[in-house]
Amino acid sequence: MAFSSFLFFCLSFLVFTGSVSSTANDPIRTFIVHVQHDAKPSIFPTHENWYESALRSLSADTQSLEIGEAAANRIIHTYSNVFHGFSVKLSTLDAQKLEDFNGVLAVIPEQVRHVQTTRSPEFLGLSSADSAGLLKESDYGSDLVIGVIDTGIWPERKSFHDRDLGPVPAKWKGECVAGRDFPVTSCNRKLIGARYFSSGYEATNGKMNETKEFRSPRDSDGHGTHTASIAAGRYVFPASTLGYARGVAAGMAPKARLAAYKVCWSSGCYDADILAAFDAAVADGVHVISLSVGGVVVPYNLDAIAIAAFAATDAGIFVSASAGNGGPGGLTVTNVAPWVTNVGAGTIDRDFPADVKLGNGKIIPGVSIYGGPALTPHRLYPLIYAGSEGSDGYSSSLCLEGSLNPNYVQGKIVLCDRGVNSRAAKGLVVKKAGGMGMIIANGVFDGEGLVADSHVLPATAVGASAGDEIRKYISVASKSKSPPTATILFRGTLLNVRPAPVVASFSARGPNPESPEILKPDVIAPGVNILAAWPDGVAPSGLPWDTRRTEFNILSGTSMACPHVSGLGALLKAAHPGWSPAAIRSALMTTAYTVDNRGQIMMDESTRNSSTVMDFGAGHVHPQKAMDPGLIYDLTSYDYVDFLCNSNYTTKNIQVVTRKYSDCSKAKRAGHVGNLNYPSLSAVFQQYGTHKLSTHFIRTVTNVGDPNSVYHVIVKPPRGMVVTVEPEKLTFRRVGQKLNFLVRVQAEALKLSPGSSIVKSGSIVWSDGKHEVRSPIVVTMQEPL
């Protein structure tokens, strides 16, 4: 077998002659090469030797490269845990050639990912209404390690102190890798591992600028410090940012250990490095991986994160990832693989109101975490709209650098449009031009969702309709005898805000672009105005010229929601060591809630209307209930293989994702893609002129509650549809017992215009009088074009 592989390999090598490695049209870029582990010809002592030889054979026929040129130098990382292979810079032509080599499963173009805070580099925080004392004070989690794949960590923060923690868990195999300003003593019994991966970043961008970035696990951005402390920060009191959100700061699993894997650098997070981090995290022995990074959605066999996450899940690691900040539009959710727990963002019941008072007496709600000297009380300041003056009305309305005329702005409050440039940077532009204050108004695309920023001057953010109202006031008053005036009323931190939670405008939404039969996001968690640890090297605004420093910062994004769920995952694993990653997710999903603190369906911040399952998935996580869910929907790697079979992935592509050879004929006979034993149910009907539509789902639940328990089903069908469940009663005699049931959905075709679709949702709930095990049912009716 080994011999024939080698022969084939040599033949492949001989066939490739006369090609050029790179031309202007075929630039060199990074590819991830996935090889079949056991295909290594025996003449190569190690896999590295094999990879180098393969690359040498590519360059041998390339004029621009010397024969046998240190091929190893072109290898960026080699991988041996999440899969076997390496990353390397190649021309597309060479990548195609390599794909035909014997033993090469796939050659996948690298993607660049980004951290998922909301647009500008400020926000986020921690401290959730749901993370009640019960969980925080338990000793749960002290044997567990959460790996945070992010921008690194600022190890000196109090959130990462190791007081009262036992020794590093004996099974831990990770390391504290030293680097610039990061001696090995930076790690302790809390931060038990730290590594950094920059070869992929530098292969594309050239050497990093070491005055701007640390060649070490140290965080020069803030995002990774923030997310790590959300997942597992210790209690810190008092904690606040510029006087806002005062109180105790603590992560979801304050006793869990942390390992930081730095993969994000100034221009993004490169797949080659992300994979290396997954590879190391699996070998190190983490129990949870938290990934607040995302980007494009591609088929799973071309998605390096999906492939790495599969291997991690297969190793029993709970992987949670941020949904993305592409909301409020549909089809925006990312990190959608069914083996990854996908987390959207909601608000908490805390707010930072900073209202605008207009000269006409009107009060308009806004938010801010500005903490400097206030505006003079009871005084109204002249108010102008940045977009109504200057040479270029459009660009200046965004308050870009150099766009404001000091003669015009001096002493005034300036209304700027939000756009996509840094909100805090606008504040500096207004301040430099002599402005007294600033109002940032959302555009139509931003809707009504507000994000509080730590501005450098008195400033607040208002929604799209408020922006229209203020612009109208300015334009009318400018022509009247009483010119436009305003002030900003900073009202500090407001608690017990209603309604809460509300689905954040920016939170990415379903349907799932890759597998519409799997509802994503899975859940939402706190992700708006979250307080968490912050590095010394970065201002709370994230702006280079802002010299303020804070121990904590308030940020927003699905990046902040994800580590809440990562920390919860660690707590659940601690309480139930035998639970699989799918069981942990099931507990979070079936106990999630969908009504807010007014008792109504959670609102969508972008419309102020009710939100839907496409926005919140199963709902908002409820930590205490998740500890005792009653029943779970479990899954193994084989179930995911069947899912891929039923999603019509080829045997080869399934092998790329799962490293398993699969015979799909059995899976296909057994049913359809909706039969993945997922805690939510999603049917997609193509109407094709049929009048009656129907489908069924088979599900298996495992009893994790009381040994003798009887569950009855309560069905809430989507409006106008018939949903039946058989049997309607499940009688368990022991813990761990599994029982099956069948859900049949019948619908009548609707009048829809070609190409359009409609989504309806309902739920099924299994109840034993003590537990309510809830699954959403989503039905999408599509009229083909």
Ligand X SMILES: *[C@@H]1O[C@H](CO)[C@@H](O)[C@H](O)[C@H]1NC(C)=O
Catalytic residues: 150, 223, 559
Instruction: List 417's β-bridge partners, or say none.
Output: 441
Of 404, 405, 406, the C-alpha closest to 417 is 404
Q: What 8-state DSSP symbol labels residue 93?
A: H
Of 688, 713, 593, 579, the C-alpha closest to 635 is 579
What's 604-634 look like in SS3? ECCCCEECCHHHHCCCECCHHHHHCCCEECC
- Structure tokens of 621? 């996580």
Instruction: List 150's β-bridge partners, or say none.
Output: 262
End-to-end CA separation in angstroms for the chain: 50
Cβ–Cβ < 8 Å for 427, 400: no
Q: What is the C-alpha separation between 294 and 309, in angstroms, rounded?
A: 13
Q: What is the C-alpha separation between 516 and 782, in angstroms, rounded?
A: 12
Largest CA distance in the chain: 93
Cβ–Cβ < 8 Å for 458, 358: no
Is residue 716 exposed (0-12), middle (13-18) or buried (19+ Cβ within 10 Å)?
Answer: middle
Handedness of CA 23, 25, 28, 31 (dihedral sign): negative
Going by C-beta distance under 8 Å and a sequence separation of 6 or more, which residues neighbour residue 31? 87, 88, 89, 90, 95, 98, 107, 108, 109, 110
Q: What is the C-alpha separation between 128 and 96, in angstroms, rounded?
A: 49
Cβ–Cβ < 8 Å for 208, 290: no
Q: What is the C-alpha separation between 81 and 59, in angstroms, rounded?
A: 28
Give the Å distances, CA to CA, from 596 to 349, 496, 501, 647.
10, 12, 6, 36
3-state SS class at 600: coil
- Structure tokens of 177? 């890798």
Buried b (16+ CB within 10 A) or exposed e, 396-421: bbbbbeebbeeebbeebbbbbbbbeb
- Structure tokens of 326? 């592409």
Q: What is the C-alpha separation between 716 and 314, in angstroms, rounded?
A: 34
Give the Å distances, CA to CA, from 65 to 32, 71, 183, 202, 205.
21, 10, 39, 20, 21
Is residue 215 exposed (0-12), middle (13-18) or buried (19+ Cβ within 10 Å)?
Answer: middle
- Structure tokens of 466? 């408020």
Contacts with ligand X by CB under 6 A lie at: 209, 211-212, 607, 609, 647-648, 673
3-state SS class at 90: strand
Question: What are the two backbone dihedrals, phi and then psi, of residue 306, each rounded to the nearest 5 degrees?
Answer: -65, -40
Nearer CB in complex with ligand X: 609/740: 609
- Please report where in the chains the tokens 């902040």 appear, as a residue: 560
Of 369, 348, 467, the C-alpha closest to 424 is 369
Q: What is the C-alpha separation between 89 and 325, in angstroms, rounded?
A: 30
Give the Å distances, CA to CA, from 393 to 234, 390, 399, 461, 465.
49, 6, 10, 20, 20
Question: Taking the complex as a whole, how short is the minimal distance between the CB of residue 14 and ligand X, in angstroms?
Answer: 39
Give the Å distances, CA to CA, from 293 to 109, 217, 227, 325, 591.
18, 17, 11, 10, 26
Instruction: List 561's β-bridge partners, or say none.
Output: none
